[in-house]
Chain A
Amino acid sequence: MANNEYDAIVIGSGISGGWAAKELTEKGLKVLMLERGQNIEHLKDYKNAHKENWDFPHRDLPTQAMKLDYPVLKRDYPLNEKTLGMWANEKENPYVEDKRFDWYRGYHVGGRSLLWGRQSYRLNKEDFEANGKEGVGVDWPIRYDDLAPWYDYVEKFAGISGNRDGLDVLPDGVYQPPMPMNIVEKDVAARVKKAFKGTRHIVHGRTSNMTESKPEQGRVHCQYRNKCWLGCPFGGYFSTQASTLPAAVKTGNLTLRPFSIVKEILFDKDKQRATGVEIIDAETNQTYVFKSKIIFVNASAFNSAWILMNSATDVWEGGLGSSSGELGHNVMDHHFRVGASADVEGYDDKYTYGRRPSGFYVPRFRNWGNDKRDYLRGFGYQGGASRSGWQKDIAELGIGANLKDAITEPGPWTIGMTAFGEMLPHHDNRIYLNKKVTDKWGLPVLAMDVEIKENELKMRKDMQQDAMDMFEAAGLKNVQGWDADYAPGMGIHEMGTARMGRDPKTSVLNAHNQVWDAPNVFVTDGAAMTSASCVNPSLTYMALTARAADFAVEELKRGNL
């Protein structure tokens, strides 16, 4: 190819890759964004966005054939007709489970920004300091104040709705008005506040579903259809397609190349700099080389580590960034699928209108303030109250008109919440290359060796019991705790495989997300996380990316890269 040189290459087009492309192109760099999967064009390719259940031949249910095709995906809720094709083809993209690991991958332009949960919270001050104080993993090389202005910056652009609650544990951001709580949630929130004397809070969920339109981005506020995963025809929530990609395209500085699997980052060992990447065209199997001054690795936590492991292996056997001995290690997720539900009496004359794609949030209260437990860190809850629909339990109902009448009326109010717990970084929770197994393109695959340990298991007891206690204390009836079991990966929050740190001997990245061994390579997705916090992580990837991009361009100008 005649012209294969760029100022910057961004590997991956999901939440963090989209941000890298936007920031770098807006700062005037010519950017090539590489995506291993197909293109999905905003609006045009959201083919199911206006379809209803009855438009799907199996009414959205997985078929036995689909289950055979997706042996991992079928383990949890994401396997359905509406989003079929939006998850990585498991036959073409195998991986090895030394221990069970549920890996849910979105291999297409936009990545999981089209499939995410959209809950958007900031890490708090303590989250950045706890590792150092407690001697867990390594200390974050940055503090909350380093990231705070970048949280402001990305929240404002992405459009996050939420309430400013004034809680240290859940720092407030730049928000649009929150999605409302319903009448029952408000009541239970007030009762919980009273019962726990202001130490536990039920607050509005903070979500990238907008409550105010952004005409400058061509985005309309959320229409309460709750069909986010089908691609939003209104651009009502943050995705690469709705938000960062149009901004990057508008600069005229972006080239997006789908079907481009990055095989390795090319490394000049004399200059100690990356020079570009080699890719395989996923459709033609041909390889191409693209050159650039800087590289942003945003392939999702595990695949970013995979790329590093396959790069500069002539210098370091374990790949670029492996000199620390930490590349691929310290895998974290959020452990969840445990919580409680309860019946709420009264409010028979109230119902809800609209399908709110969010709910309430209970910020962490364990090991916070004066609270001390026999484990470290804590968890938050996400939940909601509603009246059941036709899916309610009808064990007492027979057949015919009586059944029809009863089942078509809403049931009483119920409330439920699920805990999301912090997982500690452990060196021996790791992923590594298994060269005996290859994917469709002959590339070695990842092996997963990750488990939750004692700290998480102890925490899970509180995660269930505390939820029950809160509902009991609020005077709710028929309180039931549950633990539906968790396998690593199910949180779809993979983190930690190329962590940031203060010392090249114990971390892969420095305080600006530069690979210690190749300062013109930046990793700003989940791989960079030094600890997991218990809040949903994507907003932090956005902020880290914008911050690193700003730094990268300044360093380029200074001639340091």
Chain B
Amino acid sequence: MERRELLKLIATATGTALFAGSAFAYKDIAPVPLSDTLFSKDDVALLNEMAEVIIPQTDTPGAKAANVGATMAVLITDCYTPLLQKTFMKGLKAIDEVSKAQFDKHFLQLSTQQRETLFNQLDVEAKAANLANGVYQGVETGKPSQWEPGTDEPTPHYFTLLKQLTLYCFFTSKVGATKVLRYVAIPGRYDGAYPYKKGDKAWAT
């Protein structure tokens, strides 16, 4: 007789509540190793460098400190549609090509200032392209998972994808949520008139 069957019999016979097995609801989802993504360690390093231009270290940590590149690799692999993946990958190449054309250097060889110049340019270009293509307003702070295969929803400019991923991965990271934004795990109370002064940071959630 199976142990479970036996347990049920005992429970039925004794009339006590039966608590069988362990739940697989509230799934314990395992971390995704880099080897299961479309990216290498070098790719992640590159993504971190790019993200750092968008959210740099200031008096608080930046994107690199939160290792957003590693999370971006997972999200692009698992949450993106193939079309979005292609757009993003081509975008990475495009960034390097623009970099070479403009500065005669690979992106990673650019100075911090040159990186900023390049990305400011691309940001303007991306905003214009999104507007022309009918990408929804607010896409930059949207969710990287919202596209589906076969959707007729227009694809954002590749730089917007990079920016959206950077912001999402950064502000949902521990570093971003607790060291840059504010986060209290167990507030314990609600104050609907909590004092605020300019410069105070927003809550992470």
Give B138's nearest chain A residue, CB to CB. Answer: A393
Q: Find B12's partner among A1, A60, A83, A409 (CB 8 Å cutoff).
A: A1
Which residues of chain A come closer than 8 Å to B15, judged between CB atoms?
30, 252-255
Interface size on B, residues (CB 8 A): 89
Interface of A is mostly: loop
Q: Are the CB atoms of A61 and B202 closer together than 8 Å? A: no
Indicate if B29 sits at the interface (CB-CB under 8 A).
yes
Q: Is the CB of A182 within 8 A of B192?
A: yes
Q: A4-B12, A350-B195, A399-B53 are in contact. Are A407 and B18 (CB under 8 A)?
A: no
CB pair A409–B199 under 8 Å, yes or no, is: yes
Known: A57-B30, A85-B25, A389-B203. A349 touches B196 (CB 8 A): yes
A210 contacts the other chain (Cβ, under 8 Å)?
A: no
With beta carbons under 8 angstroms apart, the residue of A53, A57, A255, A408 that contacts B32 is: A57
B151-184 interface bits toward A, Cβ cutoff 8 Å, 1 = contact, 0 = none: 0000000000001000111011110010011011
- Among residues of B, the one whose C-beta sits closest to the C-beta of A233 is B186
Interface status of B81 (Cβ within 8 A of chain A): yes
- Contact, CB under 8 Å: B23 / A108: yes
Closest to A47 in B: B26
Assuming the contacts A53-B172, A400-B54, asked whether A350 and B194 have C-beta atoms less than 8 A apart, the reply is: yes
Q: At the interface, yes or no: A352 with Cβ under 8 Å from chain B?
A: yes
What residues on B are CB-neighbors of A348 within 8 Å? 196, 198
Q: How far is the CB of A209 from chain B (nearest CB, A)?
A: 10
Q: A174 within 8 Å of B by Cβ?
A: no
Answer whether residue B148 sits at the interface, using C-beta atoms and an 8 A cutoff: yes
At the interface, yes or no: B197 with Cβ under 8 Å from chain A?
Answer: yes
Please give, as numbers and ranges, the residues of chain B lying within 8 Å of A54 by CB-CB distance. 172-174, 177
**Is A408 touching B78 in the complex (CB atoms < 8 A)?**
no
Q: Is there contact, CB below 8 Å, between B79 and A63? A: yes
Q: Does A84 contact B (CB under 8 A)?
A: yes
Which residue of the partner chain, among A62, A393, A409, contacts B202 with CB atoms under 8 Å?
A409
Is A390 within 8 A of B56, CB to CB? no
Q: Report the bound CA distance from A4 to B12 in whole Å.
A: 7
Contact of B163 among A179, A387, A399 (CB under 8 A): A399
Residues of B within 8 A of A461 (CB): none
Chain B residue nearest in CB terms to A358: B190
| Complex interface: stretch among A33-41, A324-332, A424-432, A444-452 | A33-41
What is the minimal beta-carbon distance from A403 to any residue of chain B, in angstroms? Answer: 7
Taking a contact as CB atoms closer than 8 A, the residue among B16, B26, B32 that contacts A231 in the complex is B26
Q: Are B185 and A225 in contact (CB under 8 A)?
A: yes
Q: Does A156 touch B at the CB level, under 8 Å?
A: no
B200 to chain A, nearest CB (A): 7
Q: What CA separation (Å) do A39 and B190 show in the bound complex?
A: 33
Is A353 a contact of B189 with CB atoms below 8 Å? yes
Neighbouring B residues of A350 by C-beta, 8 Å:
193-196
B75 contacts A255, C-beta separation under 8 Å: no
Minimum Cβ distance to chain B for residue A513 (Å): 25
Given known pairs A2-B13, A256-B18, the reply for A398 and B123 (CB within 8 Å) is yes
B20 interfacial contact with A, CB 8 Å: yes
The reply to whether B17 and A255 form a contact with Cβ atoms under 8 Å apart is yes
B190 touches A59 (CB 8 A): no
Interface flag for B69 (CB, 8 Å): no
Inter-chain contact B23/A354, CB cutoff 8 Å: no
Q: Do A57 and B116 touch across chains, with their CB atoms under 8 A apart?
A: no
Task: Determine how close the nearest CB of chain B comes to the CB of A197; give it in whole angstroms.
Answer: 26
Q: Name the residue on A nearest B116 (C-beta).
A: A400
Q: Could you list some 25 contacts between A and B, CB below 8 A?
A: A1-B12, A3-B13, A37-B25, A38-B21, A39-B23, A45-B22, A47-B27, A54-B174, A57-B32, A58-B29, A58-B75, A180-B192, A183-B192, A389-B204, A389-B205, A390-B202, A395-B127, A398-B123, A399-B54, A400-B119, A403-B55, A404-B56, A404-B180, A407-B141, A410-B196
